[in-house]
Structure 1
Amino acid sequence: MTSTNPKSPVAALSGLLCFVLVVGGASGLLHEWLDWIHFMGFVRLLAPDGYEIYSYVVMIVLGFAIGAAGNALTRRDRG
């Protein structure tokens, strides 16, 4: 099925960024707490040494905030 209202590029980008931040932050927390493998290992480069847990929590919160902003943008575009 095709959508009658396609997403704007900004809304699509915010959805992708939301996914990467939330999944990357959750993966980092699982790695720190349970010593599981990193699903998205590149996010460890964003976390400074000694502040990994705080950084991963901030990534998750920021991901949800960006997702909510993209959702609001999509709703505003629909009218």
Structure 2
Amino acid sequence: MKQLLELLGFLALAQGAMGLLHEFTDWHIGLVQRVGFLDGHEIYASVALLVLAFALFALAESRR
């Protein structure tokens, strides 16, 4: 279970970082900009993914 939480945390961290990179550098990477209902809210979604990643890492650390 700990490894699954760490994997999900890493994926959320990577997607959040790539979403912010896309917004500030116009590199075409990540999945956040490809989700249609997030148009105009990509930065908020990327920051939310980063926060989710840190929460998943904290949860994984609290597991045995």
**TM-score normalised to the size of structure 1?**
0.71
Which ranges in structure 2 are unaligned for 5 or more consecutive residues? none
**The one of 10, 14, 21 aligned to 1:19:** 10
- The Cα shift of 1:46 comes to 8.1
Which ranges in structure 1 are unaligned for 5 or more consecutive residues? 1-9
Deviation track 1:24-77 (CA, whole Å, cap 9, x = no partner) reads 100010001111230xx334328611111001000001111111101111xxx2
Give the total of aligned pairs.
63
Asked whether the equivalents of residues 14 and 70 of structure 1 are also in contact (C-alpha less than 8 Å), the reply is: yes
1:35 aligns to what? 26
Name which one, 1 or 2, has greater alpha-carbon Rg.
1
State the SS of the aligned residue for 1:50: coil
Structure 1 residue runs of 4+, over 4 Å off? none
2:52 aligns to what? 62
Indicate the structure with greater helix content: 2
CA-based RMSD: 1.7
Aligned identity (percent) is 41
